[in-house]
C-alpha cells in the first residue's frame, strides 16, 4: 500500500481559501496536479443547484484498477455533504469532535501508523479515526470507495474533482496521476495537446479555458464596453456551449462545486487581464470586477458553513422562483 503524507491539518477557517487573501489557493500546474491557480477571485454566477446546466458535468470514464466494493451509505434525511463541506464544516469546525482524543492504540487505516506527531480525526457519523492528510490523500484516489470511510466503508460525502483538487492544493499534497489505457488516449481537438493521463487531461482542460478567456476578450474590445463582469459571464457561457468538462479534477455536480469551478475561471480571467491589460486596474469596470469576488467567496462560504436546513430551504425558494 502506498504511504500517505502525514502532518497537521489546515485551519478550520480556510474553507478552501488562502488565509490572507481569502481566495482559493492556485498553483500553476508544472508537475502532476497540485493546483488551481494563484491570484484573486471574481463574481458569483446567478445560478442555483437546480438550474445548473448538466452539460458542464464530467462524464466519468471507467475507473482504472478500482475496488469492486459496495459502500454503506449513512442513513440521513438530508443529502450527503460535498467533500469540502464535510471536511471544513462537519469535521474541523465542530470543536467538540475536533478535540476528541483517539484511543492510545488507534491506528490510521490508510498509512497503518499509530499515534505519531500528527492530527487524528474522528469521522462523522461512523466514529472511525484517520489522519487528516491521509484522509484527504485517499479522497483523491481513482477508486470507487474514495468517498467512504477507510475503516467501515460507510459513505460519508459526495465526491467532486474540483473540491478534491481544492483540498489537496490547500493541504500541500500532490494529486494522483494515472495513465489511460491506449484506447482512451486522444488528441484534444481544441488545444492540440495529446491527452494520455489524468494530469495531461487536466492541463489540456486548463489550456482550453484560457483559450476561451482570450477569444471572448476580443469581443469586449470590439464592443468597447469594458464591462468585465459581463465578459466573465460570457466566458462561462462560452465554456458551457463549447463542450463538457473532461478532466476528473475539474468535475462537479453540486452548487458548491459549480461555484468553485466559477472561481477557477475567475482566477484565470483575472490573471489574463493583469498580464495583458494592466491599465484596466484604474477603471470602474475593474473595480466592479474585483468587488464581484467577494460575492462569490461569500457564496462558497455559505455553501460550506450554513446549516443544511437553511440551504435546502433557500434552494427550494430558488426553485420556486425559477418555475
Kindly tell me if the per-residue pLDDT of 233 is higher than 70.
yes
Q: Which residues does residue 155 pair with via DSSP β-bridges, in sequence order?
A: 73, 148
Q: 233 by DSSP, 3-state: which?
A: helix
Structure-block grid coordinates of residue 321: 422562483
Q: Residue 150 — very low, low, confident or very high, per pLDDT cuts 50/70/90?
A: very high
43 within domain boundaries: no
243 within domain boundaries: yes
Distance CA 75, CA 238 (A): 40
Structure-block grid coordinates of residue 315: 434552494
Q: Residue 5 — very low, low, confident or very high, per pLDDT cuts 50/70/90?
A: very low
59 within domain boundaries: no
Q: Residue 117 — very low, low, confident or very high, per pLDDT cuts 50/70/90?
A: low
Burial class of residue 55, CB neighbours in 10 A (0-12, 13-18, 19+): exposed
Give me the pLDDT at residue 262, please: 93
Distance CA 171, CA 83 (A): 14
Give me the pLDDT at residue 22, please: 35
Give me the pLDDT at residue 274, please: 93
206 within domain boundaries: yes
172 within domain boundaries: no
221 within domain boundaries: yes
40 within domain boundaries: no
pLDDT tens per residue, range 10-65: 333 333 334 333 334 444 334 444 434 433 333 333 333 333 333 333 333 333 33
Q: Which domain holds residue 272?
A: 182-322
Q: pLDDT above 70 covers what percent of the chain?
A: 68
Q: Residue 91 — very low, low, confident or very high, per pLDDT cuts 50/70/90?
A: confident
CA dihedral 248, 139, 158, 114 (to 10 degrees): 180
Output the pTM of the full model. Answer: 0.73
Q: What is the mean pLDDT of residues 294-321?
A: 80
The lowest-confidence range among 28-42, 229-243, 302-316 is: 28-42
The lowest-confidence range among 8-12, 72-76, 255-259 is: 8-12
Q: Residue 76 — very low, low, confident or very high, per pLDDT cuts 50/70/90?
A: very low
73: number of Cβ within 10 Å: 12
The tally of domains found in the chain comes to 1
pLDDT tens per residue, range 192-228: 999 999 999 999 999 999 999 999 998 777 767 788 9
Q: What is the mean pLDDT of the chain?
A: 75
Is the CB of residue 83 less than 8 Å from the CB of residue 158? yes
pLDDT tens per residue, range 156-188: 999 999 999 999 999 888 888 899 999 999 999
Top mean-pLDDT range of 27-36, 69-78, 112-121, 270-279: 270-279
Distance CA 119, CA 101 (A): 10
Give me the pLDDT at residue 99, please: 54
Give me the pLDDT at residue 17, please: 38
Amino acid at each position: 500500500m502506498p504511504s500517505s503524507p502525514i502532518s497537521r491539518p489546515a485551519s478550520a477557517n480556510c474553507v478552501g481559501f488562502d488565509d490572507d487573501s481569502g481566495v482559493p489557493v492556485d498553483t500553476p500546474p508544472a508537475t502532476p496536479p497540485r493546483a488551481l491557480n494563484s491570484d484573486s477571485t471574481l463574481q458569483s454566477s446567478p445560478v442555483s443547484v437546480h438550474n445548473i446546466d448538466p452539460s458542464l458535468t464530467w462524464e466519468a470514464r471507467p475507473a482504472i484498477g478500482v475496488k469492486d466494493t459496495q459502500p454503506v451509505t449513512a442513513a440521513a434525511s438530508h443529502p450527503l455533504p460535498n467533500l469540502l463541506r464535510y471536511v471544513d464544516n462537519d469535521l474541523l469546525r465542530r470543536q467538540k469532535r475536533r478535540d476528541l482524543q483517539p484511543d492510545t492504540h488507534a491506528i490510521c487505516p490508510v498509512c497503518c501508523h499509530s499515534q505519531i506527531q500528527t492530527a487524528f480525526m474522528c469521522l462523522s457519523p461512523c466514529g472511525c479515526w484517520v489522519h487528516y492528510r491521509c484522509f484527504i490523500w485517499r479522497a483523491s484516489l481513482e477508486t470507487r470507495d474514495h468517498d467512504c470511510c477507510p475503516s467501515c466503508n460507510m459513505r460519508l460525502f459526495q465526491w467532486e474533482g474540483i473540491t478534491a483538487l481544492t483540498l489537496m492544493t490547500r493541504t500541500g499534497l500532490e494529486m494522483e496521476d494515472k495513465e489511460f489505457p491506449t484506447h482512451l488516449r486522444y488528441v484534444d481537438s481544441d488545444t492540440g495537446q495529446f491527452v494520455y493521463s489524468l494530469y495531461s487531461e487536466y492541463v489540456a482542460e486548463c489550456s482550453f479555458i484560457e483559450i476561451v478567456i482570450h477569444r471572448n476578450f476580443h469581443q469586449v474590445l470590439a464592443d468597447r464596453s469594458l464591462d468585465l463582469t459581463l465578459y466573465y459571464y460570457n466566458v462561462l457561457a462560452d465554456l458551457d456551449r463549447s463542450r463538457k468538462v473532461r478532466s476528473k479534477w475539474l468535475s462537479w455536480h453540486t452548487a458548491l462545486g459549480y461555484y468553485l469551478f466559477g472561481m477557477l475561471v475567475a482566477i484565470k480571467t483575472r490573471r489574463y487581464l493583469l498580464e495583458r491589460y494592466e491599465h484596466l486596474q484604474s477603471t470602474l469596470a475593474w473595480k466592479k470586477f474585483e468587488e464581484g469576488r467577494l460575492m462569490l467567496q461569500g457564496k462558497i462560504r455559505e455553501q460550506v458553513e450554513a446549516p443544511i436546513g437553511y440551504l435546502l430551504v433557500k434552494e427550494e425558494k430558488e426553485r420556486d422562483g425559477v418555475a
